[in-house]
Amino acid sequence: MTKSLPMSAVILAAGKGTRLRSALPKVLHPVAGKPMLEWVLRAARAAGCEHIYVVVGHGADQIQREIEADDVTWVLQREQLGTGHALLQVASYLSAPTTLLVLSGDVPLVAPETLDRLAVGARSGWGSMVVAEMEEPGSLGRVVATADGTLERIVEVADATGEELENRWINAGIYVLPAPGIFEFLTRLKPDNAKQELYLTNALTAAADGDRRLALVSLVEAEEAFGVNDRLDLARVHGVLLRRKAEELMREGVTILDPSHVVVEADVEVGRDSVLHPGVSLTGRSRLGEGCTIHQGAWLKDAQLGDRVVVEPYSVLEEVEVGNDCRIGPFARMRPGAVMKARAKIGNFVEIKNSVLAEGVKVNHLAYVGDATVGENANLGAGTITCNYDGVSKHHTEIGKGAFVGSDTMFVAPVSIGDGAMTAAGSVISKDVPPGALAIERSEQKTVLGYAKRKLERRKTRKQ
């Protein structure tokens, strides 16, 4: 942005957001994985503002707790008397004349290019504001322009006549205004309108009446003006952010088979030639390498994947690390602390938690591996379980390199088996097994000749 204009940002975020009908303050509602306010903060930071003031009121404590913002000064608006009153709260924080970029906490889609235009627009007059022509202007304030393209007045929907509502030019709620110049008009506001609020927009109309030229700047894309007043708006804004992210990834060389049916949150990174199938969710700080394939219905949160990893359908991965060429699922679950080194493989109905599977390990079917270390190329048979919890604490299981674990082995931790050791199917292993040994723990099989046939015949005779 124009570095010649020293600017501070003010984000208005004190309103109740009544129409969301929520216990959560409006600006904390997540969109595309981040609280709405984070998106607005991001825009203010991208605009290069020297300082950011956030006006809070309803839910102020919770907002301050949940938003990480070392560069923010929180300004309290004790009573929510309207947007004009909200902006006025900043007055006592400013000691020198400055330019204010005013943003609404519930308008999260604004793009940096639009804010650039806004700053440029402000230089030609007293201030500037963002307008857009919308197909469905809904509840947004309507903007009337003068012949030379500056502001004449803003009419709020609650106060508009039928004719005024036909105007499809709307106020996006984003402005560049001079301080203290604007405060002169804000202090004179009266709640003489349908909502009995102190409207910032009325102060701007008054400024225009007083020959202050407010340049009207159009949005790069009309959708940037989408504000969030109810849950329908929330879904629409969420959709736009997800679409933007999907488009960005596709431009960077990621294949997304059906972009309207994937969720990729803002901070996720995906390497080129990766393929995302429908119904995939990549959330949090997940990072995928190149050439990965993520199949239908997989859900990843804070997952780090190397290159060429294949995640089969309906697998769930959270806070995990996966090396190159691993295969996961279908229907696998990797819980926090699960680490798979290169070429390891886990199959269906396998759960891994807080464990490291070294290179080439295979756990192909129906297993639980928790608090364990598994050495290179070990093979864990179907139904292997680490009994890691004794009701009080968790214990560790160590499985050596190249070990071969028979199906349905229970490891009663703490326990270890050495490199190349084997366990027989169905064994409950509670004592350490040295390298290269076989551990077998099951009673000897009895075979009673002819028994099955005799039993069947007895049953048949009883029935007659």
Closer to ligand UD1 by Cβ: residue 18 or 260: 18
> Strands 169-179 and 98-104: what pairing?
antiparallel
Longest dimension (CA), the chain: 109
Closer to ligand UD1 by Cβ: residue 15 or 271: 15
Start-to-end CA span in the chain (Å)? 95
By CB under 5 A, the count of residues binding Ca ion is 3
Extended strands (E) in 92-210: 98-104, 127-133, 142-145, 151-155, 169-179
Binding region for ligand UD1 (CB under 6 A): 12-15, 55, 77, 80-83, 85-86, 104-107, 140-141, 154, 156, 170-173, 199-201, 227, 229
Q: How far is the CB of 228 from ligand UD1 (least distance, A)?
A: 8
Q: Which two tokens stand for residue 369?
A: 């591996």
Q: How far is the CB of 256 from Ca ion (least distance, A)?
A: 32
Q: How far is the CB of 252 from ligand UD1 (least distance, A)?
A: 32
Beta carbons of 245 and 32 less than 8 angstroms apart = yes
294 binds, among Ca ion, ligand UD1, none (CB under 5 to 8 A by kind): none
Closer to ligand UD1 by Cβ: residue 205 or 355: 205
C-alpha dist (Å) from residue 304 to 52, 316, 322, 336, 431: 33, 13, 6, 11, 35
Closest CA to 257 of 283, 278, 288: 278
Closer to Ca ion by Cβ: residue 104 or 114: 104
Looking at 38, 106, 318, 408, which residue binds Ca ion (CB under 5 A)? 106
Q: How far is the CB of 157 from ligand UD1 (least distance, A)?
A: 8
Q: How far is the CB of 65 from Ca ion (least distance, A)?
A: 23
89 binds, among Ca ion, ligand UD1, none (CB under 5 to 8 A by kind): none
Closest residue to ligand UD1, judged by C-beta, is: 141
Expressed in percent and rounded to 5, the helix, strand and coil fractions of the chain are 25, 30, 45
3-state secondary structure of 392: coil
Closer to ligand UD1 by Cβ: residue 41 or 410: 41
Please tell me whether residue 375 binds Ca ion under the rule CB under 5 A: no
Closer to ligand UD1 by Cβ: residue 19 or 244: 19
Residue list 201-230, contact with Ca ion (CB under 5 A): 227, 229
- Tokens 């290269």 correspond to 436
Residue type at 348 in one-letter notation = N
As a whole number of angstroms, the distance between CA 443 and CA 386 comes to 21
Q: Which string of x and - marks every residue 107-146 that binds Ca ion (by CB under 5 A)?
A: ----------------------------------------
DSSP summary character for residue 4: T
Instruction: List helix spans (H) across 50-167.
Output: 60-66, 83-88, 112-123, 162-165
Selected range binding Ca ion among 98-106, 115-123, 198-206, 310-318, rule: CB under 5 A: 98-106
Q: How far is the CB of 288 from ligand UD1 (least distance, A)?
A: 35
86 binds, among ligand UD1, Ca ion, none (CB under 5 to 8 A by kind): ligand UD1
What b/e sequence results for 110-134 when a residue is b if at least 16 CB atoms lie within 10 Å of its CB, and e otherwise? bbeebbbbbbbbbeeebbbbbbbeb
DSSP summary character for residue 435: T
Q: Which two tokens stand for residue 257?
A: 């088979």
Closest residue to Ca ion, judged by C-beta, is: 227
170 binds, among Ca ion, ligand UD1, none (CB under 5 to 8 A by kind): ligand UD1
Q: Which two tokens stand for residue 393?
A: 């604490």
Instruction: List helix spans (H) across 210-298.
Output: 231-251
> Strands 299-305 and 327-328: what pairing?
unpaired
329 binds, among ligand UD1, Ca ion, none (CB under 5 to 8 A by kind): none
423 binds, among ligand UD1, Ca ion, none (CB under 5 to 8 A by kind): none
Which residues are annotated as catalytic? Answer: 365
Selected range binding Ca ion among 21-29, 103-111, 248-256, 454-462, rule: CB under 5 A: 103-111
156 binds, among Ca ion, ligand UD1, none (CB under 5 to 8 A by kind): ligand UD1
Residues interacting with Ca ion, by CB under 5 A? Answer: 106, 227, 229
